[in-house]
Amino acid sequence: MAAVTLKDVAERAGVSIKTVSNVVRDAPRVSEATRKRVLKAVHELGYRPNPSARRLRTGHSGLIGLAVPDLATPYFAELAQHVRAEAAQLGLTVLIEETLGDATEELRLATGVGASLLDGVILSPLRVSPDELAAVANEFPLVLLGERSYERDQVGADHVLIDNVAAARDATAHLAGLGRTRIAAIGVDQQASATSRQRLEGFQLALHEAGVTYDPRLAPAIKEFDRRNGLLAMRALAALPAGVRPDAVFCFSDLLAVGAQRALFEVGLSIPDDVAVASIDGSDEALYSTPSLTSVAPDKTAIASLAVKCLAARIRSDVPLPFEVHTAPHWLHARESTNGGRQQLFP
């Protein structure tokens, strides 16, 4: 069966081929009625733009990449959905890559190697070093997500993030505000990642402001930000003597918190009566866990919008643009894991 062409769509919609091209490229100066008619024909015929042909005509394929460490992590899966939605608004298609935190793979994607049709990449780096990124950032349109562990001008790329120190501080201050004085931290990773360092900094800052002494025994080292490590860390904390055992725990991710809640259930400690639990990510997993999890939620819509718009501007500009750092907002959602009781999710 022959592929559907622009001409086929134009004949079905009763417009010119140029008009169909304008609609497919999301160009301005097309009336809404015409746009709807063309899109209806595109849907009915199953037309798919040819990236190679588009690149020959415009110099751009309309394809961008999103590279994240782990798509099994709810935060990244949800963020990917937002990025795809924002890209669609600009007429862009997103190809999603999973790096599994491999530095070589992150560097490969940051330079567009092996993805010749991509116009640019949004990358959430985990292991690649700032020096390696700095060496390649100017070679290919690139926007970085997540924590920065370098000076503003060290890496020539736009960066979209949240204030991790402030987010961790907010979560910990919430626990301290409940009168908890033995507050543990789960998320001090053995790799000393930027995420871990910044969230530990916010945790310690909130403790200091609340007049609570930081106890290293209440901050066990972990390997990964996943459920299993949250479970193992909380088991160790729950086994501490009664005068040391935490009455609250701040987890550096929702997955760690879900694992911690499971460990508390296993040993018969009540949430939040015995141990209050808070975390960061604002994922659906936090909302639907039992009890529902108090979590700091980064504005994923804002993160996706800023990242896609920065990348699109850099792709479409004929002149070099200044690199910018954008900080998206975050909010604390207090739920059953700190407030107690039973709350109806959608009253």
Residue-wise pLDDT for 295-304, tens only, equals 999 999 999 9
> Is 218 buried (19+), middle (13-18) or exposed (0-12) by CB count in 10 A?
buried
Helix axes 6-13, 17-24, angle to 10 degrees: 110
pLDDT surpasses 80 at 211: yes
Q: Do the bridges between strand 330-333 and strand 294-298 make them parallel or antiparallel, or are there none, so unpaired?
A: antiparallel
Q: What is the pLDDT of residue 56?
A: 43
Give the Cα separation of 208 and 69 in Å (integer): 33
When pLDDT is averaged across residues 148-175 and rounded to a whole number, the result is: 86
Average pLDDT over residues 315-327: 85
Query: Which domains does the chain carry?
Result: 6-49 (1.10.260.40), 63-162+299-330 (3.40.50.2300), 164-297+333-339 (3.40.50.2300)
pLDDT in tens, 79-119: 999 999 999 988 888 999 999 888 888 888 887 655 557 88
Q: In 17-64, which residue ranges form alpha helices assigned H by DSSP?
A: 17-24, 32-45, 51-58
Q: Name the pLDDT band for 143 (thresholds 50, 70, 90).
A: very high
The answer to whether residues 25 and 92 touch, using CB atoms and an 8 Å cutoff, is no
Q: Per residue in 20-74, pLDDT tens?
A: 777 766 666 778 888 888 888 887 887 766 554 555 455 567 889 999 999 989 9
Asked if 181 and 212 touch (Cβ cutoff 8 Å), the reply is yes
Q: Spell out a b/e string for 152-167, using b for 16 or more CB atoms within 10 Å of the CB, else e.
A: eeebbbbbbbbbbbbb
- 236-282 per-position pLDDT tens digit: 999 999 889 999 999 999 999 999 999 999 999 999 999 999 999 99
To the nearest whole number, what is the mean pLDDT of the chain?
Answer: 87
Residue 180 corresponds to which tokens in the numbers above? 């908890």
pLDDT higher than threshold 70 for residue 310: yes
